[in-house]
A and B are shown apart, each in its own frame.
Chain A
């Protein structure tokens, strides 16, 4: 089966994975300092 994922959903999924990792303190603010 060929599953095609829309870029909008892909961006949303990636953003939420990052968001959740930050919320549970897996991603430290120091690493992401811009």
Chain B
């Protein structure tokens, strides 16, 4: 083997085998999560605490199993090799398109109307509050932009889109991504508990999770824990919010090139389409197929529903596997404090706005 061949192989990065090994680990862990769920699901009183076993839905088990595997794989130094198979976003998007095949188009239109209003209010209010607070704590503009977009829209993918627009440093993206996942995982479990304690109707709870929890995976997880309708509304609200990624990425690029860098040329509006989450089109098309009655609810519908749950389970396992907290040490505690204050602001505002819109203005009738 010549030196150039070796260099070429090193450049080519992870191969198919890495992906297959990673995927096999994720699938095995998903089966384990389902096994745990099955063991406790029928228990009426867990450990005499008055908690029914069905509260512990599969997203919790999947994330927990993923977290434990994350720790073990890193301890035995076998994390990097299968990492290409840990694909939270891919599994999540497959699950979301399949979810569309069980929701009537009318429901999407009704919920999306409220979701657009909620999305615009939430994204604008949370973005500017986070930007302002970050300024008060002396955070760099690039970090403020990435963090504000992540917390106001949808976590990881929004952070990456914003980072591209403002040319943020790699460690800023890693840092915000870690913050998003560390906050989203507990919120995925706590938010449904609070919603239950407040006796929130499922559409309102779903809208709250969609507007408040930072990553789409955790939004779907919280909705799944709370109920089927909550899962549907949470997914619609979150996807509506995700659609705004492109618009925010364009406005950020415009602000940073013209105001911060003082350049005359303007960024291309094509970024709006580039950043548009295309799987949302798949979700809408799947819903249209369902609405036209082409899916037999008793046979195909059940198979699709099962595949959707498997895809989500794989995504939640990956969420636990991909948690990375080593980036925290580099940047100190100021960004963490800003992020936590903004998350509390986001949670309370989303609670009020979702009650107003989904409980009063557009009570989604499912």
- Measuring CB to CB, which residues of chain A are less than 8 angstroms from any residue of chain B? 6-12, 14-16, 18-19, 22-23, 25, 27-29, 31-34
Contacts and interface: CB of A to CB of B under 8 A. Distances in A.
Contacts of B323: none
B299 interface: yes
Nearest to B290: A19
Interface string B87-128: 101100110111001000000000000000000000000000
B303 A15 contact: no
B304 A19 contact: yes
A23 B306 contact: no
A8 B277 contact: yes
Most buried by B among A23, A25, A31: A23
B331 interface: no
B34 interface: yes
Most buried by B among A9, A18, A22, A32: A22
Given A9-B278, A22-B300, A34-B313, 20 more contacts: A7-B90, A8-B93, A8-B278, A10-B90, A11-B90, A11-B97, A11-B282, A12-B93, A12-B281, A14-B94, A15-B94, A15-B282, A15-B311, A16-B282, A19-B98, A19-B286, A23-B300, A29-B302, A33-B306, A34-B310
Contact of B306 (A12, A14, A34): A34
Contact of A27 (B93, B278, B303): B303
26 contacts: A7-B89, A7-B93, A8-B277, A11-B89, A12-B282, A15-B97, A15-B98, A15-B286, A15-B311, A16-B97, A16-B286, A18-B307, A19-B98, A22-B300, A23-B294, A23-B296, A25-B300, A28-B303, A29-B299, A29-B305, A32-B302, A32-B306, A32-B307, A33-B306, A34-B309, A34-B313
A18 B91 CA distance: 13
A19 B300 CA distance: 8
A11 to B, nearest CB: 3
Interface in B273-330: 277-279, 281-282, 285-286, 289, 294-296, 299-300, 302-307, 309-311, 313
A2 B9 CA distance: 17
Contacts of A29: 299, 302-303, 305-306
A11 B282 CA distance: 9
A31 B307 CA distance: 9
B58 interface: yes
Nearest to B312: A34
B295 A23 contact: yes
Given A6-B278, A29-B306, A11 B94 contact: yes
A15 B307 CA distance: 9
Nearest to B280: A8
